[in-house]
């Protein structure tokens, strides 16, 4: 009996206070800490993926902007956002995948990076890209969590006023610009866009500041003017060589997401709209030099032809229409839009020049005339896509394209139209510009769910998870509808 008591006592001691059990709870396959640059690279790639993507679950703005339309299953074309939950997708992609990883990178940089200047530069660059990310959130949803965002102690953050956030973003951008020391280094190769070139980031930040300024030109002319003029003075993009692009690679998983959506998946849902195609003047003397880079001739008839937006009750035979160009998609097409290594664009010179043209037209002092910037913008777009400068000059010489002679429209409309064409592969930006300049007029397709959407409805997850704040935000903006106009969209 004694023996037994002893055995039991021993076993209990053994089970109660032997080695520290919690050491078992350390995951041997996933790290507790990673280098800051690994987080930065991933966040930069995910951000570029999100703005580049053509996924029907995420980036549907080429459809909203009626550059493309769907042949079957017209939900996105018809502005239905609850079906595939794009607002949820975008919210997650930008907040959870992008902003939080930049945030974690910023927190890890002081640990990893010894050199004080490099440290400061890296934190500023990550912050610039956070401002960039917030820009898309605030211009898409309106009021969003900002002051309480990215804070795990606030699992149900309140939403802040969109206009206030916008002002805060501009201030933040200025702080970042001031923090950049061009004599110092930054991420190096881990920066997939500028390979750590701080001077380029400085120009990028100012160019983006210019863009942010112009976005509010209708709603807050004074701030717009001050912002734009300061940015220009500090130096903005001057040519396509300044463009912020991420060069994807040709093998998965680091490919261009368009290739994943259109080629790898072997789907062919998207074709040109007839409206957009008509603006490219196919088969005429005034044919847009970008046409073969934008679209492929139809498979069946080898002609450039678009389908009426949202037409056909879902019975369009894709083979009768022009699909996005790319040798992988359609034999014989010139462009490389659907190639796996086609670069993704964060900001380009053409867009900067259009903003400058519009600024000049508004009477801002941006060191040039609307005409010169307009011509530079169109030329930059054509040459970026593969056209020659000669072709660009010829294109600009046509009366319908020339800034001064374009008939039947104001100069703002001419800028808006050309910017719309230039932002072909960047539907999200086309949507922002289109809401501000309201040209070209886009009308809802047949059987649309709403009038033309001027914002994204809030994610279903926010309705379910963060309801009181969601309710307040919805009330504050005038209703969680796709047709509720946002602060910058005054007309």
Interaction mask 78-97, other proteins, x per CB under 8 A: x-x-xxxx-----xx--xxx
Q: Contacting other proteins (CB under 8 A), which of 198, 291, 299, 337?
A: 299
Site residues for other proteins, 18-77, by CB under 8 A, read: 20-35, 37-39, 41-42, 45-46, 72-75
Closer to other proteins by CB, 76 or 419: give it: 76
Question: What is the pattern of x (binds other proteins, CB under 8 A) and - over residues 227-266?
Answer: ----------------------x-xxxx---------xxx
Q: Find out whether the peptide bond into 121 is cis, omega within 30 degrees of 0.
A: no
Q: Which is nearer to other proteins, 217 or 260 (CB)?
A: 260
Count of residues in the chain:
491
Smaller CB separation from other proteins, 57 or 372: 57
Residue 437 binds other proteins (CB under 8 A): no
Contacts of other proteins in 135-174 (CB under 8 A): 144-145, 148-157
Q: Write the burial class of residue 334 (CB in 10 Å: 0-12 exposed, 13-18 middle, 19+ buried).
A: middle
Q: Give the number of other Cβ atoms within 10 Å of residue 481's Cβ.
A: 15
C-alpha R_g of the chain: 25
Stretch that binds other proteins, among 5-13, 119-127, 212-220, 359-367 (CB under 8 A): 5-13
Cβ 8 to other proteins, closest distance in Å? 7
Contact residue for other proteins among 51, 60, 63, 99 (CB under 8 A):
99
Angle between helices 100-112 and 116-141 (to 10 degrees): 170
Q: Which parts of 106-125 interact with other proteins (CB under 8 A)?
A: none
CB of 230 to other proteins, least distance (A): 30
Q: Cα dist. 441→66, 269, 350, 433, 457 in Å?
A: 10, 24, 22, 12, 22
Are 365 and 229 in contact by the 8 Å Cβ rule? The answer is yes
Please select the residue that binds other proteins; options are 239, 389, 399, 467, rule is CB under 8 A.
467
Nearer to other proteins, 17 or 222 (CB): 17
Cα–Cα dist 484/463, whole Å: 17
Minimum CB–partner distance for residue 298 and other proteins (Å): 9
Buried b (16+ CB within 10 A) or exposed e, 137-160: bbbbbbbbbbeebbeeeeeebbbb
> For residue 159, what are the contacts with CB-CB under 8 A and spacing of at least 6?
143, 144, 145, 146, 469, 470, 472, 473, 476
Nearest CB to other proteins, comparing residues 251 and 284 = 251
Binding mask 319-358 for other proteins (x = CB under 8 A): x---------------------------------------
Q: Which of 111, 175, 233, 300 binds other proteins (CB under 8 A)?
A: 300
Q: In a 3-state reduction of DSSP, which class is residue 471? A: helix
| # binding residues, other proteins (CB under 8 A) | 101
H/E run at residue 294? helix 291-294
Q: Which stretch binds other proteins (CB under 8 A): 168-176, 351-359, 404-412, 461-469?
A: 461-469
Contact 263, 352 (CB under 8 A): no
Q: Which residue, 91 or 385, is less far from other proteins as judged by CB?
A: 91
Query: What does the longest C-alpha to C-alpha distance in the chain come to?
Result: 109
- The least CB distance from residue 329 to other proteins, in Å, is 12
Select the residue interacting with other proteins from 6, 233, 278, 314 (CB under 8 A): 314
Which CB atom, from 318 or from 342, has the smaller least distance to other proteins?
A: 318
- Nearest-5° Cα angle at 423, 418 to 424: 100
CA gap 224, 216 in Å, rounded: 6
Cβ 268 vs Cβ 238: under 8 Å: no
């Amino acid at each position: 009996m004694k023996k037994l008591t002893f055995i039991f006592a021993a076993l209990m001691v053994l089970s109660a206070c032997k080695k520290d059990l919690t050491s078992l709870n350390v995951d041997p396959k996933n790290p507790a800490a990673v280098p800051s640059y690994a987080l930065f690279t991933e966040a930069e790639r995910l951000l570029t993926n999100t703005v580049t993507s053509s996924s029907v679950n995420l980036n549907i703005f080429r459809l909203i902007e009626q550059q493309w339309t769907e042949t079957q299953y017209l939900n996105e074309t018809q502005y239905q956002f609850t079906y595939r939950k794009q607002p949820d997708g975008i919210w997650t992609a930008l907040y959870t995948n992008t902003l939080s990883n930049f945030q974690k990178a910023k927190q890890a940089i002081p640990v990893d990076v010894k050199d004080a200047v490099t440290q400061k530069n890296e934190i500023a660059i990550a912050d610039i890209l956070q401002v960039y990310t917030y820009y898309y959130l605030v211009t898409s949803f309106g009021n969003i969590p900002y002051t309480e965002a990215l804070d795990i102690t606030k699992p149900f953050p309140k939403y802040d006023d969109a206009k206030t956030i916008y002002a805060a973003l501009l201030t933040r951008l200025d702080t970042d610009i001031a923090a950049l020391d061009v004599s110092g280094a930054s991420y190096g190769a881990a920066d997939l866009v500028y390979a750590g070139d701080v001077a380029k980031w400085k120009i990028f930040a100012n160019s983006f500041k210019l863009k942010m300024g112009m976005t509010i030109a209708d709603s807050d002319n004074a701030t717009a003017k001050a912002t734009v003029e300061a940015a220009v003075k500090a130096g903005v993009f001057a040519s396509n060589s300044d463009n912020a692009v991420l060069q994807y690679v040709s093998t998965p998983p680091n490919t261009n997401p368009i290739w994943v959506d259109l080629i790898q998946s072997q789907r062919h849902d998207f074709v040109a709209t007839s409206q957009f195609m008509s603006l490219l003047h196919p088969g005429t003397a005034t044919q847009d030099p970008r046409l073969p880079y934008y679209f492929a001739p139809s498979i069946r008839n080898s002609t450039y032809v678009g389908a009426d937006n949202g037409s056909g009750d879902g019975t369009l035979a894709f083979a009768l229409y022009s699909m996005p160009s790319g040798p992988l998609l359609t034999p014989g097409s010139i462009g490389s839009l659907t190639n796996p290594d086609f670069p993704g664009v964060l900001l380009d010179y053409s867009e900067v020049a259009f903003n400058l043209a519009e600024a000049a037209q508004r009477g801002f002092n941006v060191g040039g005339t609307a005409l010169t910037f307009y011509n530079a913008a169109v030329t930059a777009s054509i040459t970026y896509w593969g056209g020659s400068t000669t072709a660009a000059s010829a294109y600009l010489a046509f009366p319908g394209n020339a800034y001064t002679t374009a008939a039947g429209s104001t100069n703002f409309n001419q800028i808006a139209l050309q910017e719309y064409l230039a932002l072909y592969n960047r539907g999200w930006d086309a949507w922002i510009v289109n809401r501000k300049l309201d040209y070209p007029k886009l009308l809802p397709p047949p059987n649309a769910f709403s009038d033309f959407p001027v914002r994204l409805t809030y994610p279903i997850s926010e309705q379910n998870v963060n309801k009181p704040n969601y309710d307040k935000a919805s009330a504050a903006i005038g209703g969680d509808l796709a047709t509720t106009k946002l602060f910058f969209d005054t007309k």
